[in-house]
Structure 1
Amino acid sequence: MSIASRASWFVLASIAGLSIIPAAPAQQPPAIRGGDVTIYSPADFADNAPANAWDMLSRLPGFVTVDADEDVRGYAGARGNVLIDGARPTSKHEDAKTLLKRIPASAVARIELIRGGVPGIDMAGYALLANVVRRHEATSQSAIEAGMIAGTDGWLAPKGQWEYGRRWDGHTLDLAVKLDPELDDDSGRGHIDTFAADGTRPQRERLDTRTIKNKGDASANWRQPLAGGQLSINLAARGERARTDTRIDAQAPADGSERVHENEDTNEAEAGARYVREFGARTRLELMATRHQAWLDDLERSRDDGDDETFDEHTRTAESIGRIDFTHAWSDALTFNGSFEGARNTLRSSTRLQQDGIDIALPGSDVQIEERRSEAAAGATWKPAPGWMLDADLRLEQSTIAQTGDSPRQRHFTYPKPFVSVQWDVDPGNQLRLALSREVGQLDFEDFVASASLETGRISAGNAELKPDRTWRSALTWEHQLWRDAAFTASWTHERISDVVDRVLVITDDDIFDAPGNIGDGRRDTLALDISVPLDGIGFHGGRLTSSMQWRRSRVTDPTTGRPRPISEEKPVEGSIELTQDLPTLRTHWGIELEHIAERKTEYRYDEIKRQSEGMGWTVFVEREMGARWRVRAEATDLFGRGFSETREKYDGPRSIQPLQEIERRRRRSPGFVSLTFRCRTGA
Structure 2
Amino acid sequence: MFSPVVMGEGRITRLRRGAVGASAAALALGFTPWSAPVFAQADGASEDVAPAPPAEGAAREVFTPADFASFAPRSALDMLERVPGFAIDDRGGGQGRGLGQASGNVLLNGERLASKSDSITDQLARIPAGNVIRIEIVDGAALDVPGLTGRVANIVANSTGGVQVQFEWRPQLAAEYSKNRWLEGVISASGTFGALDVTVAAEGKPFYGGSGGTNYVTFASGRVEERFSTGLEQGDDTKYSTSLRYGLPGGAVANINASLLLRRFREWERERTLSPDVAPLYEEIFSLSRGYDYEVGGDLEFALAGGRLTLIGLERYDRLTFRSQSEVDPATGVPVTGILFSRFTESGERIGRAEYDWAMLDGDWQLSGEAAFNRLDRTSDLFTLEPDGTFTPLDFPAGTGGVTEDRYSASISHSRALTPTVSMQLIVGGEYSRIQQTGSGALARSFRRPNGSLSLSWSASERLNVSLKIERRTGQLDFADVLAEVNLADDNQNAANNELRPDQRWAYDLEAARDFGPWGNATLRIFQRDFSDYTTFVPTPTGGSARGNIETARIQGVELYGTVRFEPVGFTGARLDYSLNLRESSYTDPVLGGALPVGFAEPFELELDWRHDIPVTDWAWGAALRRTRFNPSYRVAEYGYDHRIGNALALFVEHKDLLGLTVQAKMSNLLQDELVYDRYVFDGPRGADNLLFRENRRREIGRVMEFIVKGSF
TM-score, L = length of structure 1: 0.89
CA deviations over 1:516-571 (Å, ceiling 9, x no partner)? 11022222212111112222223432122112222221122111112222234432
CA deviations over 1:7-37 (Å, ceiling 9, x no partner)? xxxxxxxxxxxxxxxx997834232443653
- Counterpart contact for 2:572–2:615, Cα < 8 Å: no
The equivalences for 1:425-574 within 5 A come to: 425-483=459-517, 486-508=520-542, 512-574=543-605
Runs of 4+ aligned residues of structure 1 deviating over 6 Å after TM superposition are: 23-26
Distance in 2 (CA, whole Å) between partners of 1:462 and 1:538 is 62
Distance in 2 (CA, whole Å) between partners of 1:451 and 1:480 is 48
Give the C-alpha shift of residue 66 in structure 1: 1.1
Report the RMSD for the aligned CA atoms in angstroms: 2.5
3-state secondary structure, aligned to 2:111: coil
Please point out which of 333, 339, 362 is paired with 2:368: 339
The equivalences for 1:572-591 within 5 A come to: 572-591=603-622
- Counterpart contact for 1:341–1:376, Cα < 8 Å: yes
Structure 1 residues 101 and 513: CA distance shift in structure 2, 3 A: same
Give the C-alpha shift of residue 287 in structure 1: 2.2
Distance in 1 (CA, whole Å) between partners of 2:605 and 2:303 is 41
Give the C-alpha shift of residue 496 in structure 1: 2.5
- Counterpart contact for 1:70–1:78, Cα < 8 Å: no
* Residue of structure 2 equivalent to 1:115: 139
Determine if the alignment matches structure 1 residue 30 to structure 2 residue 50.
yes
Give the C-alpha shift of residue 361 in structure 1: 4.1
Distance in 2 (CA, whole Å) between partners of 1:373 and 1:485 is 49
CA deviations over 1:305-356 (Å, ceiling 9, x no partner)? 211111111111111111122222336x522222111111110111122233
Distance in 2 (CA, whole Å) between partners of 1:478 and 1:388 is 14
- Counterpart contact for 2:284–2:327, Cα < 8 Å: yes
Determine if the alignment matches structure 1 residue 609 to structure 2 residue 639.
yes
Give the C-alpha shift of residue 258 in structure 1: 0.3
Structure 1 residues 48 and 146: CA distance shift in structure 2, 3 A: closer
- Structure 1 counterpart of 2:505, one-letter code: T
- Structure 1 counterpart of 2:246, one-letter code: Q
Structure 1 residues 167 and 599: CA distance shift in structure 2, 3 A: farther
Please point out which of 156, 159, 182 is paired with 1:158: 182
* Residue of structure 2 equivalent to 1:84: 108
CA deviations over 1:419-460 (Å, ceiling 9, x no partner)? 112222211111222222222111112212332221221222
* Residue of structure 1 equivalent to 2:676: 645
Give the C-alpha shift of residue 133 in structure 1: 1.8
- Counterpart contact for 2:141–2:149, Cα < 8 Å: no
Task: State the aligned residue count.
Answer: 650
- Counterpart contact for 1:532–1:546, Cα < 8 Å: yes
- Structure 2 counterpart of 1:226, one-letter code: L
Percent of residue pairs identical:
26
3-state secondary structure, aligned to 2:616: helix
- Which is worse superposed, 642-651 or 445-454? 445-454
Distance in 2 (CA, whole Å) between partners of 1:355 and 1:36 is 68
CA deviations over 1:154-200 (Å, ceiling 9, x no partner)? 6123224322111244431111112232223xx310122112348x4
3-state secondary structure, aligned to 1:91: coil
Please point out which of 62, 65, 68 is paired with 1:42: 65
Determine if the alignment matches structure 1 residue 141 to structure 2 residue 164.
yes
Please point out which of 223, 235, 248 is paired with 1:213: 235
Structure 1 residues 393 and 483: CA distance shift in structure 2, 3 A: same
* Residue of structure 1 equivalent to 2:410: 376
- Structure 1 counterpart of 2:547, one-letter code: P
Distance in 2 (CA, whole Å) between partners of 1:621 and 1:480 is 30
- Which is worse superposed, 360-369 or 263-272? 360-369
Give the C-alpha shift of residue 265 in structure 1: 1.5
CA deviations over 1:186-243 (Å, ceiling 9, x no partner)? x310122112348x45211111111011121111111121231322211111122111
Gaps of 5+ in 1: 1-22
Structure 1 residues 257 and 662: CA distance shift in structure 2, 3 A: same
Please point out which of 244, 247, 265 is paired with 1:225: 247
- Counterpart contact for 1:24–1:226, Cα < 8 Å: no
3-state secondary structure, aligned to 2:536: strand
- Counterpart contact for 1:69–1:79, Cα < 8 Å: no
3-state secondary structure, aligned to 2:481: helix
Give the C-alpha shift of residue 117 in structure 1: 5.1
3-state secondary structure, aligned to 1:45: helix
Structure 1 residues 290 and 393: CA distance shift in structure 2, 3 A: same
3-state secondary structure, aligned to 2:544: strand
- Counterpart contact for 1:469–1:498, Cα < 8 Å: yes
Please point out which of 343, 346, 353 is paired with 1:316: 346
- Counterpart contact for 2:171–2:182, Cα < 8 Å: yes
- Counterpart contact for 1:364–1:448, Cα < 8 Å: no
Determine if the alignment matches structure 1 residue 267 to structure 2 residue 292.
yes
Distance in 1 (CA, whole Å) between partners of 2:658 and 2:682 is 64
Give the C-alpha shift of residue 118 in structure 1: 4.6
- Which is worse superposed, 459-468 or 207-216? 459-468
Distance in 1 (CA, whole Å) between partners of 2:615 and 2:497 is 57
- Counterpart contact for 1:469–1:500, Cα < 8 Å: yes
* Residue of structure 2 equivalent to 1:74: 98
3-state secondary structure, aligned to 2:79: helix
